[in-house]
Copies of this chain bind each other. A is one copy, B any other.
């Protein structure tokens, strides 16, 4: 019942020659008679012959597959990154196996095990928020399987890393708000590495302009999602002196915040300017459209994949390679009215 794929043996048998000859003919080796070559190629085509990659991989001891581990696939940023990864992997003849952790350390360990078992040639990973230990990744290094960390990285591992310049992204955003006249600029931060960087940028910008860093304006988010944004809006609006601007660190958190502010009967940006690290299309479609820090996801995916491939190649040639550390620039996309000049304050 099972359709048997055509093998070299089949071709050899039909032509009364050996598999070795067939293999050579198909691979265009020099020492082969034109007639045999011709016959082999024709029959191969006729039978829809396709080399079995599994056999090939067994021999060469590599799989032509790279593994990708991300926290969540239903997420604009990550799916964009994956798109970039697939773009270069495809061109290089690699397939991509994707796993998601749902921000769970346990799940991450499990998926790493699966990929290790699959003998992927390399691993691209964006760490889950929970991940504080790295034994599961060190196993890859022991087997000399290159790893490239992207976006959610850590300092503990000596591998290549690709990140977005969150520090500068936040700095620029806050500076923009300051120059527009906002005075009580809040930040909603998380616990991940990226959040720390953004917080650093936040502090640096305020310091540059001699503005105080007030504890009451620094909010700690947990889930950083839509519902939490709404909750934060209400919390802020009930403060004696609410912030007049907020930098958020996640897509849907910003959207929730906007919705929440409006639910409180307040106006954006007159009562509160909001800047998000956002999916541009969502940010554009909102009322008012949100100013946001654009993160180059596609480019990050491409770069991460390119880096990984270079390391895989070096590996196969037994050449050493140095882990690199690339930081991609963000772009502040200012949308009309979303963080316009705060007239009242300036007058």
Binding site for B on A (CB under 8 A): 1-3, 5, 48, 50-55, 57-58, 63, 65, 73-76, 79-80, 82-83, 86, 90, 95-100, 114, 116-119, 139, 142-145, 226, 252, 255-256, 258-259, 262, 281-282, 284-287, 315-316, 318, 320
A114 and chain B: residue at smallest CB distance = B95
**Nearest 10 interchain pairs by C-beta:** A3-B144, A287-B287, A3-B143, A1-B318, A255-B285, A74-B79, A95-B97, A79-B79, A54-B58, A54-B57
User: Taking A118-B53, A259-B285 as contacts, is the C-beta distance between A79 and B73 under 8 angstroms?
Assistant: yes
**Least Cβ–Cβ distance between A317 and chain B, in angstroms:** 9
**Cβ–Cβ contact A144 & B1, under 8 A:** yes
Q: Which residues of B contact A73 (CB under 8 A)?
A: 79, 82-83, 86
Q: Which residues of B contact A116 (CB under 8 A)?
A: 50
**Cβ–Cβ contact A100 & B83, under 8 A:** yes
**Cβ–Cβ contact A2 & B318, under 8 A:** yes
Q: Which of B1, B53, B320 contacts A119 (CB 8 A)?
A: B53
Q: How many monomers of this protein are in the complex? A: 2
Q: Which residues of B contact A1 (CB under 8 A)?
A: 144, 315, 318, 320
Q: Which residues of B contact A100 (CB under 8 A)?
A: 83, 86
Residue of A5, A255, A285 with highest tally of chain B CB at under 10 A: A285
- Assuming A50-B117, A74-B80, what are 20 further A-B pairs, CB within 8 angstroms? A1-B318, A2-B144, A3-B142, A51-B117, A53-B117, A53-B118, A54-B57, A54-B58, A73-B83, A73-B86, A79-B79, A82-B98, A86-B98, A90-B99, A95-B97, A95-B114, A226-B285, A255-B285, A256-B285, A258-B285
A144 and chain B: residue at smallest CB distance = B3
Selected A-B contacts with CB under 8 Å, 13 pairs? A2-B144, A2-B316, A52-B58, A53-B119, A54-B54, A73-B79, A83-B100, A90-B99, A96-B97, A226-B281, A255-B285, A258-B285, A286-B287
* A80 to B118 alpha-carbon distance, docked (Å): 25
Q: Which residues of B contact A48 (CB under 8 A)?
A: 139, 142
Q: Which residues of B contact A259 (CB under 8 A)?
A: 284-285
**Least Cβ–Cβ distance between A109 and chain B, in angstroms:** 14
Residue of A76, A95, A97, A142 with highest tally of chain B CB at under 10 A: A95
* A345 to B223 alpha-carbon distance, docked (Å): 44
Q: Which residues of B contact A2 (CB under 8 A)?
A: 144, 315-316, 318
